[in-house]
């Protein structure tokens, strides 16, 4: 502090610096006090730039995560429509920035169409496709990819801002890094899936399609990202209900977790149905054709291949999982009626139950009508809506953090 005082004196009065050096007048006291105030104010302004995580900042971060989960939901729905319209293989290469600008001129469109014509889908299925028809499927896939980039920006840019502002705790920083990394992984997985449908397979006489394994991985990772974002967002926005730690509540909480896992597995099995076009093999309900258990259920060898590669078995399993989910949700609803739960928890369980019955009706209708695109897209969206209500129920029944 003395050096600070002497420096000021030297700058103000260099001529009289030697005498001021030993000055003990009020002027020296004023300079010293001003220096202290400057140091304190600078330290205070530096400290003000970083906020401490609190309920208000948590609510802001929670709203951001719920918004991001909504964007992921949009990507899942748009991806399902892209799949149903058989548009996913229209873009035969992948560039992070270059492909953000679609073809504009006639020459650019013809060049893009020419690239598509070199691959199996055009040669086997769409050999009589016109340029106008190609533009439709191209824009479907292009829109899906651009939406994916929007999702990435919605995660990464706000996360950087919140990190800099000090809104994240140490645990939240790890979670934010995990979510942003998962978004990047999801994009790479999407292109890995598309590549499987562009490969030439001379030994195969089947229609070109993406691998059902990669499709399920792509959908499954998107659902994991959606569930994680929604769960963390709700946890930050709303405090946990103070439920009594009774045996009934513990059983209800465990039952809800198992039911949520079953709903997730049912939605994931839908990816195998879509990947194998299994919704077109038996368009009757409740029987499959004339049988409760069809003859070709175990047509492949070894038997485990049927679970993932036999369209009949895949549809059969999806039916069982759907009925099982409906039974579990109904049981959860009836079990919850015997307990005193907060109003929000009751509403969440009621919405989950209503959505479960709606989803079953949509699934049966889609099957009986030979999978029309609008109805099938609604059924796929319904699966994510059902998963949303399951996450909401789990959020309302979660334990209070210690």
Q: Which residue has the tokens 């002497």?
A: 6
* pLDDT, mean over the chain: 87
Q: b/e for 112-138, b at 16 or more Cβ within 10 A? A: bbeebeebbbbeeebeebeeeebbebb
The 10s digit of each residue's pLDDT in 287-322 is 999 999 999 999 999 999 999 999 999 999 999 999
Question: Which two tokens mark 134?
Answer: 């190609």
The strand ranges marked E within 139-211 are none
pLDDT of residue 332: 97
pLDDT tens, position by position, 247-256: 999 999 999 9
**Alpha-carbon span 67 to 79, nearest angstrom:** 19
What are the residues whose beta carbons fall under 8 Å from the beta carbon of 315, sequence distance 6 or more?
273, 278, 279, 281, 282, 288
For the segment 211-223, what is each residue's pLDDT rounded down to a tens digit? 999 999 999 999 9
Predicted confidence at residue 34, as pLDDT, reads 56
39 or 270: which leads in pLDDT: 270
Report pLDDT for 202: 64
CA-based nearest residue to 355, from 388, 331, 394, 318: 388
Q: What is the pTM of this model?
A: 0.85
140-175 pLDDT, tens digit per residue, is 999 999 999 999 999 999 999 999 999 999 999 999
Residue 272 pLDDT > 80, yes or no?
A: yes
Q: Both tokens of residue 93?
A: 């290469």
Q: Calculate mean pLDDT across residues 129-141.
A: 95
User: Residue 385's Cα: distance from chain center in Å?
Assistant: 13
| Torsion angle of the four alpha carbons 149, 153, 154, 158, in this order, in degrees rounded to the nearest 10 | 170
Confidence of residue 11 (pLDDT cuts 50, 70, 90): very low
Tens digit of each residue's pLDDT (9 = 90 or more) over 44-75? 444 444 567 788 899 999 999 999 999 999 99
Q: What is the pLDDT of residue 402?
A: 53
The pair of structure tokens assigned to 120 is: 């199996």
Token pair for 6 = 């002497």
| Residue among 171, 336, 327 at smallest CA distance from 248 | 336
- pLDDT grade for 80, boundaries at 50, 70 and 90: very high
Residue partners of 211: CB distance under 8 A and separation at least 6? 193, 196, 197, 275
Closest C-alpha to 72, from 397, 399, 289, 381: 381
Distances (CA, A) of 262 to 27, 255, 256, 265, 336: 79, 11, 10, 5, 18
Poorest-pLDDT segment among 2-16, 149-163, 266-280: 2-16
In which band, very low, low, confident or very high, does the pLDDT at 17 lie, cut at 50, 70 and 90?
very low
What is the per-residue pLDDT for 33?
A: 59
Length of the chain as a residue count: 402
* Cβ proximity of 197 and 88 under 8 Å: yes
């Amino acid at each position: 502090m003395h050096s600070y005082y002497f420096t000021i004196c030297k700058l103000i009065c260099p001529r009289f610096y030697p005498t001021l050096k030993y000055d003990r007048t009020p002027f020296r006291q004023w300079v010293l006090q001003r220096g202290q105030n400057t140091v304190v104010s600078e330290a205070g302004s530096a400290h003000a730039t970083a906020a401490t995580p609190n309920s208000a900042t948590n609510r802001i971060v929670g709203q951001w995560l719920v918004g991001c989960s909504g964007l992921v939901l949009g990507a899942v729905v748009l991806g399902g429509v892209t799949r149903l319209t058989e548009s996913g293989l229209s873009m035969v290469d992948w560039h992070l920035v270059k492909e953000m600008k679609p073809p504009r001129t006639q020459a650019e469109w013809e060049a893009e169409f020419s690239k598509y014509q070199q691959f199996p889908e055009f040669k086997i299925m769409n050999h009589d496709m016109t340029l106008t028809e190609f533009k439709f499927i191209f824009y479907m896939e292009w829109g899906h990819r651009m939406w994916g980039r929007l999702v990435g920006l919605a995660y990464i840019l706000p996360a950087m801002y919140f990190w800099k502002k000090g809104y994240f705790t140490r645990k939240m920083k790890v979670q934010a890094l995990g979510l942003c990394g998962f978004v990047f992984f999801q994009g790479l997985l999407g292109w890995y899936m598309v590549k499987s449908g562009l490969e030439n397979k001379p030994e195969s006489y089947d229609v070109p399609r993406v691998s059902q394994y990669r499709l399920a991985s792509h959908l499954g990772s998107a659902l994991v990202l959606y569930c994680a974002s929604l769960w963390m967002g709700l946890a930050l926005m709303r405090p946990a209900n103070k439920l009594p730690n009774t045996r009934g509540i513990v059983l209800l909480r465990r039952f809800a977790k198992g039911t949520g896992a079953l709903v997730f597995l049912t939605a994931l099995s839908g990816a195998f149905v879509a990947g194998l076009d299994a919704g077109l093999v038996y368009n009757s309900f409740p029987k499959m054709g004339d049988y409760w258990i069809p003859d070709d259920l175990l047509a492949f060898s070894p038997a485990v291949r049927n679970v993932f590669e036999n369209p009949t078995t895949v549809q059969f399993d999806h039916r069982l999982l759907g009925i099982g989910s409906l039974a579990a949700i109904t049981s959860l609803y009836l079990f919850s009626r015997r307990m005193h739960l907060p109003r929000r928890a009751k509403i969440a369980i009621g919405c989950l139950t209503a959505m479960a019955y709606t989803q079953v009706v949509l699934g049966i209708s889609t099957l009986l009508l030979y999978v029309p695109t609008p109805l099938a897209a609604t059924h796929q969206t319904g699966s994510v809506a059902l998963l949303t209500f399951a996450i909401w129920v789990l959020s309302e029944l979660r334990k209070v953090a210690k």
